[in-house]
Amino acid sequence: MSKTNLIVIILSFIISASAVLGYTIYRIKAVSNEDIAEYKEEENKDAEQNLKSYIDIAYLTIEFYHQKYLENPDGTSINTDLENIKEVIRTMRYETKYNKIKTDKSNDDDETKYNKNGYFWIIDISDESSPKYIMHPHKPERENESLTGDFSNLKTRVDSFIDKCKNEKDKAGYVEYTGEKPMDGEGYGGDKKADKKTYVKLYEPLNWIIGTGFYIDSIEKAIKEKEKILNQRIHTLIKNISIATLSIVLLIGTLSYLINHHYFIKKKTVVLDEAVREKTPTLKKSNQEVKKVSNEALSHILKSHVSISMGVALIPIPIVDFISVTAIQVSMLSEIAEKFGVPFSKEKVTSLLFSLVGGAVPVAASTQVASMIKIIPVIGQVSGLITMPIMSGASTYAVGKLFILHFAAGGTFSNFDPQNAKEDYAKISKEGMEFADTLRSNSDNSAEFQKSQKRLYIREC
């Protein structure tokens, strides 16, 4: 593989990885924003539904006591009866996560330090030109005072309550306005203003409007807390994805560099299998004097490269493992050519290999499929790791034996015809599968084999 091709492969992967990373980050943020919007909508709906439920309870309470006094008068005046009803509503309280007021700041997590601060108020609109609060648990000074006098600043707000109750079918509805917000443990905050959402309902028999509400910024505070948690998770996720992507880029760059400089090739002293000495009947025999080459030398070149190609095939990254095996085979042929004194050209040999291996079946196709199947998470990776070593070993064995016999007959790379050799390559590949399987079985417990595989795993990681 030329340096130019190596650089192109690495840059292509970096660009692809960057594009995938960028899109992944974009989608994560988009989904997060959608989650926040959905959470906000759900919280608003939940809060509104709670207000309606509380008002319905207060409404039914007023209705119950009013009917009771009308049906069973106890001799008291109607005004006394109405005062009793108002006092019942005055004492009613409820608690939600949006209206907690802390009275003790010693422990933020202690729920016993919070008051049930949800309350109800009543406005009498018997005289719509001069409505008045007849019950307000936190503002007793407003009670029974006309809103046309000192409290005329509240008239606009009350008018919106009246309009809502008069115009809505259920004589009830939600109203938003800006009002005073109580401070923790200090009652109302004076100049502190906050947007509030209130639910009001008209009790027509008495011309009373009952209301209760919550401060909108309480929901917004909960949303900000949710957003903060999501942003922290997104930051961690993006960080991990970026680190993983960078690690893969560095791994591929390192592996490509090592393969290109033959750093994976380690010579071992082994004996060539008897099958290497056999001559394939279908190959043409030459009457030329065969150069004497040590079988022992050929043995360690062929078998060591078969072993290493089986180890490289364990790389879990698709395509990278296939390219690595090709580089191993190029290196093997350079050493075999050197033994026979045959001129060697990396570009020429690489081209021959692609022509020979790329079109041969079934092993070559199986090797590529075994590599590409690793793209499938878990199942594909496990399947690829099981099949790829045998396929790679068989392919390397067939390439090595084919060229040994070709060189032994006086051939060179220049007169090697990959198209005519494909049939022989396919036959020797079947023999190579048995050779690779036997090599793996005999070497699984070998300290030398395990040491070699550990080196490959270290480089892989």
CATH number at residue 189: 3.30.450.20
To the nearest 10°, the Cα dihedral for 216, 217, 223, 229? Answer: -160
188 located within any domain: yes
106 located within any domain: yes
Q: Is residue 161 within 8 Å of residue 211, measured between CB atoms?
A: yes
Closest CA to 200 of 261, 120, 257, 141: 120
238 located within any domain: no
**pTM of the predicted structure, to 2 decimals:** 0.47
How many structural domains are present in the chain? 2
402 located within any domain: yes
Last residue of a domain, one of 179, 209, 228: 228
Q: Are residues 175 and 32 in the same domain?
A: yes
30 located within any domain: yes
244 located within any domain: no
How far apart CA 439 and CA 417 sit, in angstroms, is 30
Q: Are residues 325 and 443 in the same domain?
A: yes
- Say which residue the tokens 């990396």 belong to: 346
Residue span of the structural domain in which 383 resides: 262-460
The residues of the chain scoring below 50 in pLDDT are 101-114, 184-190, 263-291, 359-384, 445, 447-450, 452-461
Q: Are residues 64 and 208 in the same domain?
A: yes
215 bridge partner residues: 196
Nearest-Å Rg of the Cα atoms of the chain is: 43
Q: Are residues 220 and 274 in the same domain?
A: no
62 located within any domain: yes
Q: Are residues 198 and 290 in the same domain?
A: no
Q: Which two tokens stand for residue 388?
A: 């790829």
83 bridge partner residues: none
Last residue of a domain, one of 228, 246, 270: 228
Q: Are residues 61 and 204 in the same domain?
A: yes
- Say which residue the tokens 């099949």 belong to: 387
Q: Is residue 130 within 8 Å of residue 145, measured between CB atoms?
A: no
Closest CA to 302 of 459, 413, 428, 426: 428
Q: Is residue 151 within 8 Å of residue 142, measured between CB atoms?
A: yes
CA 371 to each of CA 52, 71, 112, 132, 367: distance values in angstroms, whole numbers, following the listed order: 63, 88, 63, 82, 6
Q: Is residue 332 within 8 Å of residue 266, measured between CB atoms?
A: no
Q: Are residues 216 and 307 in the same domain?
A: no
304 located within any domain: yes
Last residue of a domain, one of 173, 204, 228: 228
Closest CA to 32 of 314, 339, 237, 194: 237
Q: Are residues 210 and 266 in the same domain?
A: no
In the chain the first and final C-alpha atoms are separated, in Å, by: 23
Q: How many CB atoms lie within 10 A of CB 119?
A: 21
Q: Are residues 299 and 371 in the same domain?
A: yes
How far apart CA 321 and CA 371 sit, in angstroms, is 7
The three-class DSSP label of residue 416 is coil
Q: Are residues 171 and 303 in the same domain?
A: no
Q: Are residues 172 and 308 in the same domain?
A: no
Please give the DSSP secondary-structure letter assigned to residue 119.
-
The three-class DSSP label of residue 383 is helix
Q: Are residues 433 and 335 in the same domain?
A: yes
